[in-house]
Chains A and B, each alone.
Chain A
Amino acid sequence: MLSPSGSWTAIHAATLESLVDIASPTVRQRPNLKIDMADVRELDTLGAWLLEKISREASESGHPATVVGVAGRYEGLIEDVRQVNRRKLASRPIQNPVLARLETVGRSTFGAAEDVSVFLQMLGALGSAGLGVLRRPRSLRLKSLVYHLYQVGWRAIPIIALVTFLIGAIIAQQGIFHFRKFGAESYVVDLVGILVLREIGVLIVAIMIAGRSGSAYTAELGSMKMREEIDALSTMGLDPVEVLILPRIVALVCALPILAFIGSMAALYGGGLVAWFYGGMSPAIFIARLHEAVSITHFEVGMIKAPFMALVIGIVASSEGLRVKGSAESLGKQTTISVVKSIFLVIVLDGAFAVFFASIGM
């Protein structure tokens, strides 16, 4: 005879579970078990399930229990709980760990190939949308383009200028500090000028834009994908690439060279200030030396890279945005992938350009 009493409700879950654990060995041994529910004051699904579990255990061990004294208002609940959890999910076969590892490697290799094809697809779609716009210039989304130009260009200026100013200053300070040992302080102008104009200016700006605007593009397009806005556009006969992606990427391609220019100037300004206050080189001398040290070629090398980097950032951000699936988690994942991948590609592209310019002697 088992007589549960009191409240068998979720609030007392911990106590109830330990009670059931204590009772279960006895239940398994005793034949003709009777469960008297007359004293149960409150019952919910959790309590009903625990009591059902006891009576199932009893019947499994060969002597089914009889349940008596169920209050009328709980009959339906107990009847319902009797139906549930009757089936076990077929357990999945455990995989060989070596095979599983091999499978992961294989899948990620195919994934890399897919990444390349996704990138090329987006480039192609963008190219065809661009040609379409060239043929019918009126189909260019001018309003959207200007809006994005404002977002990724104009609004990025303060932070870009600040960061590149600081980097220019740091390079100059380090240069002066170390060159002083050789008495070659004046060469810091060459260092700052060439480094900033050729490499650092555009690279730092591209990395910052990948983090600032690339992530925004991915998140925007991804949440549009999640809410079926992109599907809605396609069904209305509009090309999402032309409507959403082209203005964004064109804005980025226009904005990045300008930002790279502003960034390079801010870095030179920072370097000049440090050279003046820390190195004791007056601005007039700094500018004169800069004039000798850098040629227009260095500036061109830096600037030519900017639109290509913008294109890579834009394509990666857009295609990752379109790969977002239904969940909030996948939005976060694709945004992370977008930023990491575009920074990686920007640096790889910079390396490729360095090789290219070296071989043509620029």
Chain B
Amino acid sequence: MEGSSEQFAIRVRDLVVGFRQQTVIDHLSLDVRKGEILGLVGASGGGKSVLMRTIIGLIPKRSGHIEVMDTDIDNNHDRDIRTAAMWGILFQQGALFSSLTALQNVQFPLRENLVLSEALMNEIATAKLEMVGLTLEDGDKFPSELSGGMTKRVALARALALDPAIVFLDEPTSGLDPIAAGDFDDLIKTLHETLGLTVFMVTHDLASLNTVCDRVAALADGKIVAIGSMSELLHSDHPWVKAYFHGKRSLMLQPEAS
């Protein structure tokens, strides 16, 4: 894990986050390498989303240090095109703008951050929609007319609109059927390969942890208690990690089927 800072997309050091008396993230440190897919697991309400939201600056931190793509998040107050193009975020519910069509949603970051002709903007947005597996006709639909899986795809296309170096995915496969979830996993993997993305994924989906993620980090008691490849985590001794990966629902992950 040693290496110069150049290799890391996200570096979190000694992070503390809390609300009133409650401390959610307690002196947490985490490195995400460039070009990897990192899965973050943790108990519901255990601070996974809080960690993600703190990294992207939506929740203020009490202390600690966060660096994303070698930029200190604290000193980076001017939001210009470079910060906008640094990351894309797929929110849990999609967070599509409900008054815009799918295509306009994807165009939105382009329109706000770049100087482009309308025609080119249309082409780029359509290209993104097609890359996430949607058709031209879907582009004209409003978010309320989209199914759950399509909403996630449009949200991913919007997150990727500016070709960010990092994408944050908050439970990308939750609420999808296994086929759609599997397709979404494949999609993330393909886009990761073609666009050279770094992916930070909060998930509970054991299958996507197993198939998509290069490394998995386990968050418990406000700290990262285990990090490594899936097989390393399966052999972790931490009680919570053991309970998570060796519970009834995790049998399919076991190397020797019992």
The answer to whether A and B interact is yes
User: Given A10-B162, A11-B85, are A326 and B144 neighbors across the interface (CB < 8 Å)?
Assistant: yes
Interface secondary structure of A, over-half rule? helix
* Interface residues as binary, A37-74 with B (CB distance below 8 Å gives 1, 0 otherwise): 00000001110011001000000000000000000010
User: Given A80-B194, A326-B142, are A89 and B137 neighbors across the interface (CB < 8 Å)?
Assistant: yes
Report A-chain residues with C-beta under 8 Å of the C-beta of B124.
45-46, 49
Q: Which of B98, B127, B144 contacts A45 (CB 8 A)?
A: B127
A96 contacts chain B at the CB level, 8 A cutoff: no
Q: Which of B123, B131, B162 contacts A80 (CB 8 A)?
A: B131
Q: Complex Cα distance A333/B192, Å?
A: 41
* Interface residues as binary, B106-135 with A (CB distance below 8 Å gives 1, 0 otherwise): 000010011111001001101110110000
The size of the chain B interface, using a CB distance under 8 A, is: 33
Is the Cβ of B127 less than 8 Å from the Cβ of A84?
yes
Is the Cβ of B98 less than 8 Å from the Cβ of A73?
no
Report A-chain residues with C-beta under 8 Å of the C-beta of B162.
10
Q: Which of A9, A50, A328 contacts B98 (CB 8 A)?
A: A328
A17 contacts chain B at the CB level, 8 A cutoff: yes
Report B-chain residues with C-beta under 8 Å of the C-beta of A88.
136
Report A-chain residues with C-beta under 8 Å of the C-beta of B130.
83-85
**How close is B196's CB to chain A, nearest CB, in angstroms?**
6
**How close is A259's CB to chain B, nearest CB, in angstroms?**
35
Is the Cβ of A76 less than 8 Å from the Cβ of B194?
yes
User: Given A14-B114, A45-B127, A89-B136, are A327 and B163 neighbors across the interface (CB < 8 Å)?
Assistant: no
Q: Across the interface, name the chain B residue whose C-beta is closest to A75.
A: B194
**How close is A199's CB to chain B, nearest CB, in angstroms?**
40
Report B-chain residues with C-beta under 8 Å of the C-beta of A85.
123, 126-127, 130
Report, as a range, how many residues of chain A touch the other chain.
20 to 34
Report B-chain residues with C-beta under 8 Å of the C-beta of A49.
123-124, 127
Q: Across the interface, name the chain A residue whose C-beta is closest to B193.
A: A76
**How close is A329's CB to chain B, nearest CB, in angstroms?**
4
Q: Complex Cα distance A89/B196, Å?
A: 30
Report B-chain residues with C-beta under 8 Å of the C-beta of A143.
none
- Chain A residues 305-349 with CB under 8 Å of chain B are 325-329
- Chain A residues 286-319 with CB under 8 Å of chain B are none
Q: Across the interface, name the chain B residue whose C-beta is closest to A73.
A: B196
A118 contacts chain B at the CB level, 8 A cutoff: no
Report A-chain residues with C-beta under 8 Å of the C-beta of B115.
13-14
**How close is A87's CB to chain B, nearest CB, in angstroms?**
6
Report B-chain residues with C-beta under 8 Å of the C-beta of A325.
144
B81 contacts chain A at the CB level, 8 A cutoff: yes
Is the Cβ of B127 less than 8 Å from the Cβ of A326?
no
Q: Complex Cα distance A80/B130, Å?
A: 9
Is the Cβ of A327 less than 8 Å from the Cβ of B98?
yes
**How close is B82's CB to chain A, nearest CB, in angstroms?**
7
**How close is B121's CB to chain A, nearest CB, in angstroms?**
9
Q: Complex Cα distance A19/B117, Å?
A: 13
Is the Cβ of A45 less than 8 Å from the Cβ of B120?
no
Q: Complex Cα distance A17/B121, Å?
A: 11
Is the Cβ of B123 less than 8 Å from the Cβ of A53?
yes
Q: Across the interface, name the chain B residue whose C-beta is closest to A48.
A: B127
A81 contacts chain B at the CB level, 8 A cutoff: yes
Is the Cβ of A327 less than 8 Å from the Cβ of B194?
no
Report A-chain residues with C-beta under 8 Å of the C-beta of B120.
17, 50
User: Given A13-B115, A73-B196, are A327 and B99 neighbors across the interface (CB < 8 Å)?
Assistant: yes
B222 contacts chain A at the CB level, 8 A cutoff: no
B143 contacts chain A at the CB level, 8 A cutoff: yes
Report B-chain residues with C-beta under 8 Å of the C-beta of A23.
none
B59 contacts chain A at the CB level, 8 A cutoff: no
A233 contacts chain B at the CB level, 8 A cutoff: no
B43 contacts chain A at the CB level, 8 A cutoff: no
Please list 27 pairs of residues, one from A and one from B, whose beta carbons are closer than 8 Å in the complex, sorted by A's number: A9-B163, A10-B162, A13-B114, A13-B115, A14-B114, A14-B115, A17-B117, A44-B163, A45-B163, A46-B163, A49-B123, A49-B124, A49-B127, A50-B120, A53-B123, A76-B193, A79-B194, A80-B194, A83-B130, A84-B126, A84-B127, A85-B126, A87-B136, A326-B144, A327-B99, A327-B144, A329-B98
The chain A residues found within 8 Å of chain B, CB to CB, are: 9-11, 13-14, 17, 44-46, 49-50, 53, 73, 76-77, 79-81, 83-85, 87-89, 325-329
Q: Name 14 extra pairs, CB < 8 A, besides A79-B194, A326-B145.
A: A10-B85, A10-B110, A13-B116, A14-B115, A44-B163, A45-B163, A49-B124, A49-B127, A84-B131, A85-B123, A87-B136, A88-B136, A325-B144, A326-B142
